[in-house]
């Protein structure tokens, strides 16, 4: 029986291409650069500050 029934899935072909030695170095390097860039970008974001409710002085008993 022939298990190769037709053209391979494009994602599977891409994965097979990406894990071959010359390309795998570039894919690894691109992944590291992507992680670094995303973490750098996330570190530069400023958090949204919600205005704090006004602070009131504690009430003193009248007596």
Q: Where are the domains of the chain?
A: 10-44
pTM: 0.56
Percent of the chain with pLDDT over 90: 44
Element (H, E) at 40: helix 21-44
Q: Span 27-37, mean pLDDT?
A: 97
- Confidence at residue 24, expressed as pLDDT on a 0 to 100 scale: 94
Q: How many residues are there in the chain? A: 63
Is 52:58 a contact under the CB 8 Å cutoff?
A: no
Residues 6+ apart with CB under 8 A from 16: 8
């Amino acid at each position: 029986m022939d298990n190769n029934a037709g053209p391979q899935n494009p994602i599977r072909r891409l994965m097979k291409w990406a894990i071959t030695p010359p390309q795998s170095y570039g894919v690894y390097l691109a992944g590291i650069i992507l992680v670094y860039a995303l973490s750098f970008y996330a570190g530069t974001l400023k958090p949204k500050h919600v205005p704090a409710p006004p602070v009131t002085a504690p009430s003193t008993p009248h007596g």
